[in-house]
Amino acid sequence: MIYAANFKTNHTRQSTKTYLETLAQKLADKRTEDRVFIFPPATALDSYSGNFTVGAQNAYPTQNGAFTGEIGLEQLEEFGIKTILIGHSERREYLKEDQETVVTKYTYFMAHGFEIIYCIGEPLEVREAGEKAVADYLLSQFEGIDLSYEKLIVAYEPIWAIGTGRSATVEEIASTHAMLRSNMDRPLLYGGSVKPANIKEITAINGVDGVLVGSASLDVESFSEMIFA
């Protein structure tokens, strides 16, 4: 299983360090087949060691240059970071990243050999319009994305389930993952209000290879509880 923690705009450099020191101890005897990723805020990126991989929540597709407020490859390379989240719904919605922007980032970081967790997900009105609408919407988020990239992990995150406490149902996850699987052959995560109380039923679903966790990953005890559930 893959367990990925997205801190978003939470945790400081100091609290991330404390979190990762605790996590490193807890993961000393994790199942070898499991993989753990942590995506702290950009100010907390550093060269950490432990049984986990630290990635960037975002970066600009450039080596360096005049892109005020952004970080590029050079800033990630300083810490040996070779993993990135691309396409998260919060960046699509609040930062107005359209599919073209997302594809540009994807193509750039793929060309530089990054492991990419590529996020897709539909808004509530699309879910309410039925399975065909959901499939059309999600597949449109694959446009321009090289799905044969061997370092790609896809995360299905229904927007209406993110940070709301309301996870998708087992049936919704199973049918959406089955549809996605028939269109690609890479590890597939589910994200959206995953927490210790529902981790076991979600990871037991056929077609779920892991989880991307926001709120419930912020506390190291809660996140490790999920990894060892």
CB under 6 A: which stretch of 17-25, 91-99, 178-186, 213-221 binds ligand PEP?
Answer: 213-221
- Report the length, in residues, of the chain: 229
Position among 22, 62, 215, 222 found at the interface with ligand PEP (CB under 6 A): 215
Residue 54 · residue 35 · CB < 8 Å? no
Reading phi first (left if > 0) and then psi (alpha if -120 to 50, else beta), residue 209 is in alpha
Task: Say whether residue 212 binds ligand PEP (CB under 6 A).
Answer: yes
User: For residue 199, what are the contacts with CB-CB under 8 A and spacing of at least 6?
Assistant: 211, 225, 226, 229
Q: DSSP 3-state assignment of 115?
A: strand
Position of minimal CB gap to ligand PEP: 214
User: For residue 116, what are the contacts with CB-CB under 8 A and spacing of at least 6?
Assistant: 83, 84, 85, 86, 106, 109, 110, 149, 151, 152, 153
Residues recognised as catalytic:
88, 157
CB under 6 A: which stretch of 14-22, 47-55, 125-133, 192-200 binds ligand PEP?
Answer: 192-200
Q: C-alpha angle 171/169/183, rounded to 5°? A: 55
* Size of site (CB under 6 A) for ligand PEP: 13
Position among 1, 3, 5, 6 found at the interface with ligand PEP (CB under 6 A): 6
Task: Say whether residue 87 binds ligand PEP (CB under 6 A).
Answer: no
Q: Smallest distance, Å, CB 94 to ligand PEP?
A: 12
Position among 192, 208, 223, 224 found at the interface with ligand PEP (CB under 6 A): 192
Residue (80 or 163) nearer to ligand PEP, CB: 163
Task: Say whether residue 193 binds ligand PEP (CB under 6 A).
Answer: yes
Residues of this chain that interact with ligand PEP (CB under 6 A) are 6, 157, 162-163, 191-194, 212-216
